[in-house]
Amino acid sequence: MSQPPTNRSPAAPSARPDASMSLLTHVMDHSLDEGYAEAAARREAEGTTGLPRSLKAKLGLAAGLVVAAMVVTLGAAQARIEAPVLAKERAELIDRVQRADDRVDGLEKDIERLRADVARRQREALKQHGVDDRGRLVALLSGATEVRGPGVKLVVDDAKGASASGGGPRENTGFSDTGRVRDRDMQRIVNGLWQAGAEAVSINGQRLTALSAIRAAGDAILVDNKPLVPPYEVLAVGDKKRLSTGFQDSADGQYLHVLQENYGIRATLTPENEVRVPPASSLAVRTATAGAAEPKKGAS
């Protein structure tokens, strides 16, 4: 028995799985903007894409490279030509400095010779007037004559690897935090030696007098405007035992000890049987007053 036919409608086509992603699909299929695509097509049509390929562009690039090579070559050649000239100028400058140093040494020897002659003449003149002992005492106190005798030698030096730049006092304590000996340190050391009984003191051959000044210019220590370099050799004439003990027990000696312990300053104190302290390099009479005559008896 046959079945009656049934009326069936045709099946509707199924939707694409990415139908809901039409915007993303469009972006992926057309990743390049139309304007950029047109510009790229136009440059391709004109033959200007990528690196320059025309003969003119290649020649220009080659010319630029040649010019750059020539500049480098000429610079190197010029440096080789100037090197001997600079070396010669440097040698001439060194020679001038050495000649100037030799001249200064010769002048210092002349000064020493003339100073010794003046001192001899002064002693003769004072001896004629019966004031030889007084004159020698004045010369000793003023630093005009050389002093020899027992004393101590104190050598003070910067700490190992001390920095040469900057560095003021740490928290205003007066101690240097760079490991370098400062002018204020030398002032206290010299004052301690005077207090301990020194009769004459010198630093690196520079005699100290009542008018001497220990100052600083940058990192250099100056004594009467003459720069000194470490190590600093301080010579003091006097009772060597008293000087050694008195300085170490003084406040200034303890100050130096603190510099050694905390900042690495190096110092050695040695008693000596004979110490030579040279005369001051320059002395000038600033004021002089003639003795007033005694008033006559009965004068009003």
Instruction: Answer whether residue 26 is part of any domain.
Output: no
Query: Does residue 183 lie within any of the structural domains?
Result: yes
CA distance 255 to 262: 11
Q: Residue 283 and residue 152: Cα distance in Å, rounded?
A: 25
Whether 204 is in a domain gets the answer yes
CA 290, 295, 296, 300 dihedral sign is positive
293 pLDDT more than 50: no
Q: What is the pLDDT of residues 134-178, one digit of tens each?
A: 666 666 777 777 888 999 999 999 988 775 544 344 444 444 457
Residue 1 is predicted with a pLDDT of: 47
What is the pLDDT at residue 167?
39
> Which residue would you say has higher pLDDT here, 49 or 188?
188
What is the pLDDT, as a whole number, of residue 53? 53
Query: 204-214, pLDDT tens digit by residue?
Result: 988 988 888 89
Q: What is the pLDDT, as a whole number, of residue 130?
A: 60
Output 169 or 28, whichever has higher pLDDT: 28
pLDDT of residue 248: 93
**pLDDT at residue 126 is higher than 70:** no
- Residue 46 φ/ψ, nearest 5 degrees: -85, -10
Domain presence at residue 48: no
pLDDT band with cut points at 50, 70 and 90 for residue 195: very high
Q: Under a CB-based contact definition with an 8 Å cutoff, are residues 233 and 204 in contact?
A: yes
Q: Is residue 210 part of a domain?
A: yes
- Predicted confidence (pLDDT) at residue 243 exceeds the cutoff of 90: yes
Q: At 208, which amino acid appears?
A: L
Q: State pTM to two decimals.
A: 0.54
- Residue 123, domain member (yes or no): no
Q: Which residues pair with 222 in a beta bridge?
A: 215, 227
List the CATH number of the domain containing 195. 3.30.70.1880
Is residue 269 in some structural domain? yes
**Residue 115: per-residue pLDDT:** 74
Domain residues for the domain of 256 are: 149-277
Q: Is 93 exposed, middle or buried (0-12, 13-18, 19+ CB in 10 A)?
A: exposed
pLDDT at 26 over 70: no
Distances (CA, A) of 90 to 83, 84, 87: 11, 10, 5
Dihedral sign from CA coordinates of 39, 40, 44, 49: positive
Averaged confidence pLDDT in the chain: 76
- Residue 224 vs residue 32, higher pLDDT: 224
Asked if residue 231 has a cis previous peptide bond (ω within 30° of 0), the answer is: yes
Q: Is the pLDDT of residue 78 over 70?
A: yes
If one compares 267 and 144, the residue with the highest pLDDT of the two is 267
What is the tens place of the pLDDT at every residue in 244-262?
999 999 999 999 999 999 9
Output the pLDDT for position 173: 45
User: Which of 7-16, 221-230, 261-270 shows the highest mean pLDDT?
Assistant: 261-270
- Does residue 270 surpass a pLDDT of 70? yes
Does some domain include residue 74?
A: no
CB atoms within 10 A of CB 228: 19
Q: In what order do the strands lie in the sheet with 214-217?
A: 214-217, 220-223, 226-228
Phi, psi angle pair for 220, to nearest 5°? -95, 145
- Which pLDDT does position 70 carry in this prediction? 86
List, as one string, the DSSP characters of 233-270: EEEEES-HHHHHHHHHHSHHHHHHHHHHHHH--EEEEE
Look at 29-33, 107-111, 119-123 and tell me which has the smallest mean pLDDT.
29-33
Q: How many domains does the chain have?
A: 1
